[in-house]
Chain A
Amino acid sequence: MRSFPFFGAVVIVAATAWSAVMPTRAEDPLRIPVLVPITGFLSLEGTSQKNGAELALVGSKVAFSVEDTATSPEIAINAFERAADAGGVVAVVAPMLGTQMLALVPLADEFELPLVTVSGTAKITDLGSPNVFRFFPGDVVVKEAQARYAVEELGAKRPAIVYQTTAYGQSGRAELQDNLLALDAPPVFEEGLDVSVKDLLPVLTKVRDSGADALLLHLHSGPTALAVRQAKALGLDMPIIAGSAMHQPETAALLAPAELGGVCAETGSSPVSETSEEVRTFVDAYRRAFDREPDAFALGQYDGTKMVLAAIAAGARTPADVRTYLQTARHDGLAMTYMSDGTGNMAHSAVIICYDGEDRVPDIVKRYGNLTGVL
């Protein structure tokens, strides 16, 4: 039995080697891996992103596979390298989580693969990479819309900001600060919250005591719903203008219609609120395919993926072809018209939605088009 230890060693090494020699999926000429966070704290938004990409890709001649990136950069890189190893990749649907994108951008540059994402983190398009294409209005756009609506439409002079201490939250908070200062309405209160915080009454009480006249939220889905509910319970007598998480049907579903009354939010789009025939068709198809309501992330990723398919339809066969198309073309999507600003920001419009307290479908009350002046 002296050979047993060596047998054990061989088993371990063989198991490791198995991943290399096991058959890969049949290769198509062109492939678009979908790398999205479908587990972890961003699973709700990540699933929307996945669904949007899937809906665009199903029925096309482009092969695709979905890889979960969870919430760590390490897993996102693993997924990227695994997907890139398959060959035939012309573009990658990249995760919306900012820290994962920051890790993937250098890799995308090395592989020369375009990343198509709906990540809102401002920094990803500040890195000077030619491979980042963001199909969701960045914080520069949506936070301007949120600040302007609060100040110009609701007359806020002393707003309070409550944000998440994640990359998403800190990025949005910085843009909100800048915009409010530019609008001569500096925030009188700011506080960051960890995603694990389950009771927002203390911070809402501090908001009330600060003398603020409007509450600007920049939180993830669950905390947004919690903040709205507890603000209503506290009797917080000021308008609430939330971040894009509030527009998600899943967020609204966490609240009673009465609790939603008067609450507004910024977002890139609100598919369930739109009345155009094209968007209604998208919404119906989405519901049939996934048995849930679409949100702006789904629609943004749908539009972005469709633009890649448009590039392929226009003759793109390599990542470089797709990148060139994304850098130069103008694409009329369902949510808005997309065009690169030279740094990969493709979306330049935002909307403000408000709930009327009767149901969970918000109304689009204000559209901010072409805020960057690119179009």
Chain B
Amino acid sequence: MTKYLLLKHYRGIPEPVPGTDVPMDRWTPEEVTAHMEFMGKVIDDLKERGEFVDAQALSPRGDFVRYGGEDKPPVTDGPFAETKDLIAGWMAIDVESQERAYEAAAYLSSAPGPGGRPLHEWIEVRPFLTDNAEVTG
């Protein structure tokens, strides 16, 4: 089994599929509800298959922070410029194969958007590095 991180982005993704790029605060309330219910269903299905690890949504608010030197406060850079990559949330899954991870990501990406049509949202799929080196023989 390998763990994968499925990342949703607010920004910084490849070109969206035409017609799907409408901010959520311009959807109808029913469309938002349908989308959220679908997300819940994805999690339920992954749990049912024994593949779910964790899921978390992130606020779009945040800063970059770094060490500012001894006895100096941390240096911050933010809020993020409009052009920067911005992660909206993640789902961690534990699956048999990369193929299965991609299938789960595609399922997540099929969530309904405006008009109830699939969003075709880009999902970034990143395998975890494991702690243990696998030794064979």
Q: Bound pair: A and B?
A: no
B residues whose Cβ falls under 8 Å from a Cβ of A: none
A residues whose Cβ falls under 8 Å from a Cβ of B: none
